[in-house]
Amino acid sequence: MTFVVGKDCINCKHTTCVQVCPVDCFYEGKNILVIDPEECIDCGLCEPECPVDAIFAEDEVPADQLDFIEINEKYSKIWPNITEAKDPMPDYKDWEKREDKISYLELD
């Protein structure tokens, strides 16, 4: 099993999860992070670190976010690895509670 970054990371990108990952399995897109399922060791350290609850165990991904399992798998092979925490996106507070985040996902 692995962990999956879901829609609540979009336009927030808190990176506190990155700094606790012992295997550096996070990858950074323009407005979201993803986890490489082949590198994740299922330690669970990242999940409680996310202040917006955007990280799920693969078998607990909400039904409306199941596409994020494939998004994490695919884009972790394309995007650059991130191994150190940095500031979240500048307007993250405006995005934390938005329900329409998925329409803003940037995968390019």
Answer yes or no: is pLDDT of 58 > 90: yes
Query: For the chain, give me the number of helices (H) and strands (E)?
Result: 3, 4
pLDDT of residue 1: 84
Question: How many angstroms separate the first and last alpha carbons of the chain?
Answer: 27
- Nearest CA to 76 out of 105, 104, 32, 35 is that of 35
- Contact yes or no for 59/4 (Cβ under 8 A): no
Domain locations in the chain as residue ranges: 3-85
Secondary structure element (H or E) that encloses residue 18, with its range = helix 16-20
pLDDT of residue 97: 85
Summarize pLDDT for 18-47 with one digit per residue, the tens. Answer: 999 999 999 999 999 999 999 999 999 999
What is the rounded average pLDDT of the residues 4-16? 97
What is the rounded average pLDDT of the residues 5-11? 97
- For domain 3-85, the CATH architecture is 2-Layer Sandwich (3.30)
- Using CB atoms within 10 Å of the CB of residue 33, give its burial: 0 to 12 exposed, 13 to 18 middle, 19+ buried: buried
Summarize pLDDT for 62-86 with one digit per residue, the tens. Answer: 999 999 999 999 999 999 999 999 9
Answer yes or no: is pLDDT of 100 > 90: yes
pLDDT of residue 4: 98
